[in-house]
Amino acid sequence: MDADAPASPSADPRPLERERPAGWQKLLPLAVLGVGAALAWVLLATSPAPERRPEPPRKVEVEVTAVTSTLHQVVLESQGTVRARMAGPVATQVAGQVLEVAEGFTDGALVEAGALLVRLDPGDYALAVEELEQQLAVADGELAEVAVQAANLDGRQRLAAERTTLREAQLERVLGQRDQGVATEDDLLAAQVAELAAREAKLDLEDQRRALLARQATLRGAREVTARRLARARLDLTRTEVRAPYRARVVRRAVAVGEFVARGATVGELYAVGALEVRLPLTAQQLRYLELPSAGAGGSKVRFSAQVGETRHTWTGVVIGAEGRVDVSSRQLAVIARVEEDPSGDAPPLRPGSFVSAELEGRVLRGVYVIPRSAALGGAEVLIADAQEGVVRRRPVNVVRKAVEALVVDAGLEDGELLCVTPLVFAGDSLPVSIHPAQTPTDEAQR
């Protein structure tokens, strides 16, 4: 057989296949989708509509409490630093060497008023006192001598006055006798000489008295100067003992035995115990509720507290006044409160520089309602529950005071009404609710 001859059809082993058009293969998927969509439409169009049932209203679980008007003690909060009302250095008033320092004069110690702190060498001052006492005694002796001389001179002056009177009378008598021719001119001359001598003696005694009085005045002046110097010397002698001017606590001691100190040298620093005070700034809103002390009336009570170690201690005090002007930076007025001493000694003593929190008793508000902050909607509205209808309704109220956890309301509520205390900020009016009593009381005194 020729190799170039065409192969016979009967020689192909595969079965013969019918040739199909190419477009039919593309349209087949589309036809299937169309038939499925038609069947789905028919089912939806012929099926019955579902029964619609109204959904029951959903009720919100809320807690309520019955409100009652009450008395509310306003408590104002502030804070400040303890300072001493009387404090400062204790200085010497004389110079000298320190001979003694009291055992109780140590840093932080408590000293009583008049207690000895430091004793200086009194030797020079004691010697000055002795010398001036001797000078004063001499002056007293001289004044006593002058007094005796003055007494003697008084007697002599009386005699001289009597003698002068007699001589004047004798002269008048001699003049009369001469006119009668009984007395001679020699008798008249003798009477005149005697009368003149008596007058000269009297004038001489008067001069002596004036001189004696001048000397007495000089001696009295010198004695007065000596007495004043003696008083000053005695005062300086007492000032060699430096004593505490008031009951105080020692901040620091500044001298030691053997030192020489000048007049005005500081021996230590003290601050008065029982005269501690705290400056407490308050806003204008807070001042509305505070009674400032007036003449003859006490101020509001204050409770101070501070952390000392792991324990928080408290002290009591009283408002004694306010500063004279408002702080221009904070627009606050500071009141001054005095810290009272703790006679029981349970709390440690407060010291200047301590930082304390303060709670001041303000005015008592009458007929108000104290409600929790959770009951407020935006601060000026609350929700009042209607137990019969099972709904809550919005109610505007007048808030007179806001505290951290409570509001004080004076209008908008009535005794016995049910106040919703569950926070529902976006609750609408007549919201259906399920009412339950509140678990915690809301009528506590909130500050």
- Structure tokens of 323? 């500063």
Tokens encoding 146: 């002058």
Quickly tell me which residue has 């009381």 as its tokens. Answer: 441
Question: For residues 145 and 223, what is the distance between their CA atoms, to the nearest angstrom?
Answer: 14
According to DSSP, the β-strands at 418-420 and 241-243 are unpaired
In a domain, residue 284? The reply is yes
- Residue ranges of the chain with per-residue pLDDT less than 70: 1-28, 30, 42-45, 47-57, 295-298, 342-345, 379, 425, 440-447
248 vs 257: CA distance, rounded Å: 22
pLDDT at 379: 67
Domain assignment of residue 278, yes or no: yes
Number of domains in the chain: 4
Structure tokens that stand for 331 in this block: 């627009």
- Write the DSSP assignment of 297-352 as a string of letters: ----EEEEEEEETTEEEEEEEEEEEE-SS--TTT--EEEEEEEPP-TT--SPPP-T
Same domain, 280 and 384: no
Residue 255 and residue 117 share a domain: yes
Instruction: Give CA separation, 441 vs 397, 411, 413, in Å.
Output: 20, 21, 17
Asked whether residue 131 falls in the same domain as residue 234, the answer is yes
Q: Is 129 helix (H, G, I), strand (E, B) or coil?
A: helix
Alpha-carbon span 280 to 306, nearest angstrom = 15
- Answer yes or no: do 337 and 418 share one domain: no
Residues 6+ apart with CB under 8 A from 4: none
Domain termination residue (choose one: 364, 393, 418):
364
Q: How many CA atoms lie within 13 A of 111 on its CB side?
A: 31
CATH code assigned at 295: 2.40.30
A 10 A CB-CB count for 376 gives 21
CB atoms under 10 Å from CB of 399, counted, come to: 17
419: its two tokens: 């106040």
Interstrand relation of 311-322 and 301-308 (parallel, antiparallel or unpaired)? antiparallel
Q: What is the pLDDT of residue 4?
A: 44
Work out the angle at residue 252's Cα, subtended by the Cα atoms of residues 251 and 253, and round it to the nearest 5 degrees: 140
The CATH number for 93's domain is 2.40.50
Is 444 contained in some domain? no
Q: In what order do the strands lie in the sheet with 110-111?
A: 87-91, 266-272, 248-253, 110-111
At residue 296, the pLDDT reads 54
pLDDT at position 55, please?
58
Cβ proximity of 77 and 447 under 8 Å: yes
- Domain assignment present for 35: no
Structure-token pair, residue 286: 């807070």
**pTM for this model (two decimals):** 0.59
**164 and 103 share a domain?**
no
Helix (H, G, I), strand (E, B) or coil at 249: strand
Whether 337 and 399 share a structural domain: no
What's the pLDDT at 135? 93
How does 287-305 read in b/e, with b if 16+ C-beta sit within 10 Å?
Answer: bebbeebeeeeebbebebe
256: in domain = yes
Tell me: the pLDDT tens digits for 151-176?
Answer: 888 888 888 888 888 888 887 887 88
Q: Are residues 287 and 258 in the same domain?
A: no
Residue ranges making up the domain that contains 185: 123-238
37-48 exposure pattern, b = at least 16 Cβ within 10 A, e = fewer: eeeeeeeeeeee
> For position 53, what pLDDT does the model report?
62
